[in-house]
Structure formats: structure tokens, C-alpha cells
Amino acid sequence: MRRSVDEHLQAVLERIAPLPPFDQSLLDALGLVLCEDVTSPISLPSFDNSSMDGYAVRAADLAGASEQAPVQLPVMGDIAAGRSRPLVVTPGTVVRIMTGAPLPRGADAVVPMEWTDGGSVSVRIARQPQVGNSIRRVAEDLHAGTKVLDRDTPLGPRQIAILAAVGRSRVMVRPRPRVVIVSTGAELREPGGQLEDGQIYDSNSYTLAAAKELTEFRRPVLLVRAADDRIFPAAACLGLRGRATGRGSAGAVRAEYGHWRVRASHQNASRASPGASVSGAFLISQRTAQCIGPQARSSIKEST
């Protein structure tokens, strides 16, 4: 009884359950699928800070400042990023501040360095800032308790950056699929080898190994070479029941299986009969759909 591709895919997915998640460090989790919702334990930013190198000021002290009439004020100290000094901006004073440094008490604006003469003892300021100028306020980007990533999200560079930004060093993820590509055909030879009469270089397995779906998330790929009369006994050892299909010069090998997924492309299959082996390249991914989340699993398609 023939089954459609959709019926075949459904039969396969019904036998698959997700593999248990495991704990991984951030860089080891790159390319894997998240198995938990992630909420931020902190607000971002977690403190008021300067978005520019410049001077923390009281905006009212600079009323009327201009290029023609700059205001000169004493510099009471410096605050660098990563350091919190107990400095206070009192009326008529400024504090020099670096990008990312916490805003000192009493300041309500930051004057960028470009508006000044860059003085370290006293500074001449040629523009009046608005209250809040060049200040990043607490929770401006994110409030503590906000969900930042959903379960079943593939972890790429952006997601890893988000996890690091909210202080996560490890996450629960699913294992990376292990992929084996088995090339069949007595006529096939490894590229770089010497061809004899009737032989060709194997290109199908390299095409599959280089496919975007295998490379973009660093899925490990193993290339295996097998003669025609060995592939289906090997498949039987793996719990596969395969049959060749195709009526023209190209077709597909389909397999009914439990924990394994098989895709195949082949040439010269016009003489193939059900149960016969054919030359080509099989893509076998051990428990592939178990290693991905439901969102990704729904996109699995069978080769035709």
C-alpha cells in the first residue's frame, strides 16, 4: 500500500518523542534548541548611566550657554565605567563621566565632550542641555521579570547575546542531531582518488553535507561509503526497512523507520524495483526530530 509523503512524514513523527534536555554553557549551546522560557532577573540598564563621554551636570546651571557665551564650571572629579564613586554634583559644579558610568547624585543631564573644551580642572560648556540629555535610565530597555526568550527557540548569536546580557551562564537545551551520510554505489570514488573505467566521483554526499540545514547550526556530519549490496543490510541493522522508488532517471529512496530518519537522492534508478538497492547518497540523522523543538519539527519535509 502506497503512502503519500505527508502520510509517511506523519507516521515518522508519531514515533518520535523529544530527547531529555541537558544543561550547557552559553557557547556550547550555540545552534541548539532552548528547552525553557528565560526571564530576566535584572532590569536593563540596571542603573542610570551616561550614554556619552562628557560631563554630568545640573541642566539649570547651564542656562543660556552658547558658543558666544560659554559657561565655565569647576570639575569635581571623574567617574569611569565599572566604578561607582560617591561623588555628588552640587549646584555650580560638574563631574567628568565616561560612557556607561553610573550617573552621580545631583546630576540630571550629561553634556557630551564635543560641547566643551575638554577641561579637567574646569570646563567651558558651549550648549545648554535638556534635562535627561545623554542619560540611559534604569529599565529603559528591559524590566526585571520580562520574558526574553521562549522555549523551543533555536539559539543563534543574537540569542546567546541576550542570555549573557541578563546574566545567564548556562541554559537547558536539546542535543545537537548526529548526522551520517551513507553514499552507495560501486561506481563511486572519493574526490582526489584515481578513477577507473565506469567510475565517477561522489558529489551527492558532499552536497548534502554542505547543505545549509546541516551547517548553519554546526550539526556534526559523518560521511560513510558503502557498496550497493551492503546498504540495505546495514539499514536493517539500524532498524530500517527501505525500498527504492522512481520510474525515470532520478528518484528517491524512502524508508520506514522508528528512531532514524532517512533521505536519499540517487541517479540511474530507472531499473530500480521495490526492495532493491540503488546508487546515491543517504542522509541518515539519528533521532533527528527528537533533537529539535516543536516549531522546527513542523518544518521537516521529506525529499521527493
For the stretch 100-121, pLDDT in tens is: 999 999 999 999 999 999 999 9
Tell me which residue of 188, 152, 143 sits closest to 171, measured CA to CA: 152
Tell me how far CA of residue 202 lies from CA of 45, 114, 225, 298, in angstroms: 55, 63, 9, 31
The three-state secondary structure class of 102 is strand
Homologous superfamily, domain 22-46+141-174: Molybdopterin biosynthesis moea protein, domain 2 (3.90.105.10)
Tell me how far CA of residue 264 lies from CA of 96, 166, 234, in angstroms: 66, 43, 15
Tell me which residue of 142, 159, 161, 163 sits closest to 45, measured CA to CA: 142
d(CA 96, CA 110): 9
- Write down the pLDDT at residue 164: 98
Confidence of residue 73 (pLDDT cuts 50, 70, 90): very high
Confidence of residue 291 (pLDDT cuts 50, 70, 90): very low
- Write down the pLDDT at residue 271: 33
- Write down the pLDDT at residue 226: 63
Whose cell is 522508488? That residue is 245
SS (H, E, C) 255-285: EECCCEEEEEEEECCCCCCCCCCCCEEEEEE
User: Which CATH number describes the domain made up of 49-136?
Assistant: 2.170.190.11
How many residues does the structure list for the chain?
Answer: 304
H or E segment at 207? helix 204-209
240, 254 in Cβ contact below 8 A? no
Tell me which residue of 37, 34, 33 sits closest to 288, measured CA to CA: 33
150, 296 in Cβ contact below 8 A? no
Q: Where are the domains of the chain?
A: 5-19+175-297, 22-46+141-174, 49-136
Q: Is pLDDT at 230 greater than 60 in this prediction?
A: no
- Write down the pLDDT at residue 3: 84
Confidence of residue 81 (pLDDT cuts 50, 70, 90): very high
38, 152 in Cβ contact below 8 A? no
Q: Would the pTM count as exceeding 0.75?
A: no
For the stretch 39-69, pLDDT in tens is: 999 999 999 999 999 999 999 999 999 999 9
CB-based burial, 175-213: b 16+ in 10 Å, e otherwise:
bbbebbbbbbbebbbeeeeeeeeeeeebebbbebbeeee
d(CA 254, CA 260): 12
Q: Among 79-83, 140-144, 166-170, which is the least confidently predicted range?
A: 79-83
